[in-house]
Amino acid sequence: MNWFNKLERKFGKYAIPNLPLIIVIIYAFGFLMNLVKPDWINFVTLNPEAIVHGQVWRLVSWIFVPDSYSNVFFVLIFLFFYFSIGRNLEVAWGKFAFNVFFFMGVFLTIIGAFLLFGYFKVVAPNYVTNMDAVYKSVLGKACPSSLGGSWFFHYMSFSFSTYYLNLSIFLAYAITYPNMRVLMFFLIPIKVKILGIIYVVVLAVNVLLSFVQGGFNSGIITLVTVCTSLLNVLVFYLLLRKGKKRFKEIKRQKEFKKKIKAVSEPVSMIRHKCAICGQTDVSNPSLTFRYCSKCNGNYEYCNEHLFTHKHIE
């Protein structure tokens, strides 16, 4: 992890704070646009054919492509869930590490799209020609230049969406907090590591079925899409195995800085201070403070220790 620590010391100041919140806002915008103007998605997907013909905004705009949810209730649950796990990862890993993880997933997805583009342009151009002819006969028109000029690459671009980015965040969460429990179907408590294993098995089956049912070229699309989009999970799994002490150290450093800040705060600014942990209304404004009527003296406690402290007689 020494190289990563050096990288963080050099570039950590450029890390985007509150990235999970920004990601959720982007996803929310995508869901909203999908409801208001569904056709917009045709002009923002990760289509290499369109990109090489000048539509370079697609290198970024595909992040706004939403999953297939349309029910507002499930969208809100989805956004809250991914904000929660993203925020937990940011706290556990540190701001810089989470930034690297997310943008590595974005970059590798783009690489995967262009690898497929190169494969079908060089190795299997006849397959593209045949598929374009099939789409043209079904749709009754050639693919317009605004969509890249190829029906095959246009529809292939829908394989690259935020689905695998979201899944990579969840799998990273399952690796970091394997014994954390979530409610599947809002009823059944299950450890996230079990859900992670289920997701991986389902992905493997989908890749296999793509080869069996759709042929080699269809299987290649699914395989490259899945592997490149989730490669960042493998990279960070290896980092986590070597760097668990580092992530624990990040947590200890944050707790230490919080205690130092509480000690160094000007006394004139402090109105409330917990007699147990020493936190104040300045160091942690989210806390509430109360005096204990059962303690002998004026002892004040934060809401975390008000009901758990030992009474002073």
The rounded distance, in Å, linking the Cα atoms of 164 and 91 is 22
Dihedral Cα 127, 131, 132, 134, nearest 10 deg:
140
The residue with tokens 């706290």 is 91
pLDDT at 313: 72
Q: Comparing C-alpha atoms, which of 225, 49, 248, 1 is closest to residue 149?
A: 49
Distant-in-sequence, close-in-space partners of 265: CB < 8 Å, separation ≥ 6? 280, 282, 283
Model pLDDT for residues 253-283, shown as the tens digit of each residue? 555 555 555 555 455 567 788 888 888 877 7
Full-prediction pTM beyond 0.95? no
Q: Is the pLDDT of residue 117 over 90?
A: yes
pLDDT at residue 118 greater than cutoff 80:
yes
5 vs 90, which has greater pLDDT?
A: 90
Q: What is the pLDDT of residue 70?
A: 60
130: confidence class by pLDDT, cuts 50, 70, 90: very high
306: amino acid identity, one letter? L
pLDDT (tens digit per residue) in 152-194: 999 999 888 788 888 888 898 888 888 887 766 666 777 888 8
Give SS3 for 273.
strand
Percent of all residues in the chain with a pLDDT value above 70, rounded to a whole number: 86
Q: How far is CA 301 from CA 264, 268, 275, 289, in A?
A: 19, 19, 6, 5
Segment 282-287 shows an average pLDDT of 77
Residue 5 reports pLDDT greater than 80: no
Query: 27-75, pLDDT tens digit by residue?
Result: 888 888 888 888 888 899 999 999 999 999 999 999 888 766 566 777 7
Backbone angles phi, psi at 179, to 5 degrees: -95, 5
The strand pair at 300-302 and 289-291 is best described as antiparallel
| Percent above pLDDT 90 for the chain | 24
DSSP assignments along 37-50, one per residue: -GGGGGGTS--HHH
What 8-state DSSP symbol labels residue 312? P
| In the chain, where the domains are located | 2-254, 266-313
User: Average pLDDT, whole number, for the chain?
Assistant: 82
Q: Give residue 115's pLDDT.
A: 94
Give the pair of three-digit tokens for residue 232. Answer: 């960042």
pLDDT digits (tens, 9 = 90+) for 228-237: 888 888 887 7
- Lowest pLDDT segment from 119-133, 212-226, 239-253: 239-253
Look at 94-103, 115-124, 254-263 and tell me which has the smallest mean pLDDT.
254-263
Q: Which of 95, 92, 104, 112 is nearest to 232 (CA)?
A: 104
